[in-house]
Structure 1
Amino acid sequence: SVTIDYDKCKGPECAECVNACPMEVFEIQGDKVVVAKEDDCTFCMVCVDVCPTDAITVKE
């Protein structure tokens, strides 16, 4: 599962995860980043590595 802690996430102003994810799992919807294609996640952990606020949790 891929979860975003919205208390920590800076949303579209950051969007590092959106840009870094090779599988395009994340999308910007309005004023927040959402996990749009969780089934496509390959657990590469790039999103976790690039997130400056540690807002993303990935669990297989």
Structure 2
Amino acid sequence: MFGFLKSNPTKKLRKQYDIKLEQAMLAQRKGDIKSYSMLTAEAESMWKEIEKLEGNSD
């Protein structure tokens, strides 16, 4: 009945993922390839977690 009040665990993680990708893009634009690669790797691990969570919800 009150399913709409439940928090969506992937929603917060997706927001963090988007922020991390934006930070990586900005680092790449500044020429900081080391930070870009680290941020991209973190975003990739977040994406794997999102896929795992969404796979369990089906």
TM-score, scaled relative to structure 1: 0.30
More relative contact order, 1 or 2 (CA 8 Å, 6+ apart): 1
More strand by share: 1
TM-score, scaled relative to structure 2: 0.30
More helix by share: 2
**Which is greater in Rg?**
2
